[in-house]
Amino acid sequence: MAGRAFDAQVVLSPPDSPRGKLLSQYVCARLTRMDDIDAGLLDRDWNNTLYYFIMNAEEHIYLRYGGRDSRSPDSYLNLSSLELALEKGLELHRQFQRGELKASVRAKPLFPRDIPLLVERTLARNACVECHLIGDYLNVQREQEAKLDKRAHMYRSPDIRGLGIELDVPKGLLVKSAREAAAAAGIQPGDRIAAIEGTTVWTFGDFQHRYDTVDRNAKEINLIVERNGKRLPVSLALPKRWWWTDLTFRQWTIEPRVYFESVPLAEEEKRALGLSVSGGFSSRVKHVDMFAEMTQSHSLRVGDIVFAVDGVESDEEAHTAELFIKLRKSAGQTLMLEVIRDGKRMKTQLKTYRMSFRK
């Protein structure tokens, strides 16, 4: 439903319900077009179909609500946690009015009219400036200007579950379970995440937005968690490729579509086949999408081992051939793959596909 049910439940909140009583203390606005909105101030992951800000007339943002992951647009939308956010927003507003909150430094303005591709392909045609188009055209522009950092701009909103943190969603940033990196850092179920990299966070939306700004070369992040009324600092070692997420729902124009999935070979198998071990991205094809045949982009088969792309066998970031292509190649490029099929080495071409929105 892409947030439609949640949207309706919020907008149609009965005035005498707890949520309705909270909302009645706000000026409520619901916008469906971004035409004249400052996307710099109200920046977010533009692939959210539903997103909320709690702010004031001076455009000071108290908190954000929303955020999604690759599982669903609704993963972090919950009426209970929304009520918590609404209560916190009122409290922060009172603090601001009493002069107890410092006004935030306003982000650099960025209006849709400042994005040439967006003007050409939506505003000039009187078409809707949809949120996801802002993200897509910004990235196309970055690509044209050689300013695109795919790990940050294409892999937006790293998944908190990649740190081993599962949240108790109705309760906001309360940790339900902590595994892997989070457990190793000492995070426990029942902790509430209160800050990330020095920024106070009240909601998952706050957390995800700040987490997304972490340098993709970072090795650790610093959190503050609340436990039994105390605030505890936690340094969390970031796992390899912590920034990686499933891009399927995003439909980026800049993403080279490869129409296959592969899994990395184990080191022993790489050695046995005489392939690059350290940093080698040789990987076994586990799935071939039907679009490969439809677009005649490649002739890979399940079980093929792809061990080189355009003569390159290793990469400091990519552990599979498809990730190497997505990170290092441009959409629409034709590449030469080196493959082992039925024990024999061969070469085969792959033409990556470029998605397009109204282009």
Please state, in angstroms and as integers, the Cα–Cα distance from residue 136 to each residue in 49, 117, 127, 129, 349, following that order.
Answer: 14, 10, 15, 11, 28
Give dist(CA 84, CA 168) in Å, integer: 13
Residues 138, 140, 144, CA angle at the centre, nearest 5°? 115
Six token digits for residue 226: 């609340």
Site residues (vs another protein, CB under 8 A): 3-4, 7-8, 10-13, 15, 20, 23-32, 34, 36-37, 42, 44, 48-57, 59, 62, 86, 89-90, 92-93, 97, 130-132
Smallest distance, another protein to C-beta of residue 175, A? 27
Residue 45 vs 304, nearer CB to another protein = 45
| Secondary structure letter of residue 42 according to DSSP | T
Residue 3 vs 158, nearer CB to another protein = 3
Give dist(CA 208, CA 206) in Å, integer: 6
Smallest distance, another protein to C-beta of residue 3, A? 7
Smallest distance, another protein to C-beta of residue 88, A? 11
Residue 29 vs 146, nearer CB to another protein = 29
Residue 24 vs 349, nearer CB to another protein = 24
8 residue type, one letter: A
Candidates 118, 77, 17; CA nearest to 208 is 77
Smallest distance, another protein to C-beta of residue 40, A? 14
Residue 13 vs 297, nearer CB to another protein = 13
Smallest distance, another protein to C-beta of residue 201, A? 18
Q: Annotate 325-345 with b (16+ C-beta within 10 A) or e (fewer).
A: bbbbbebeeebebbbbeeeee
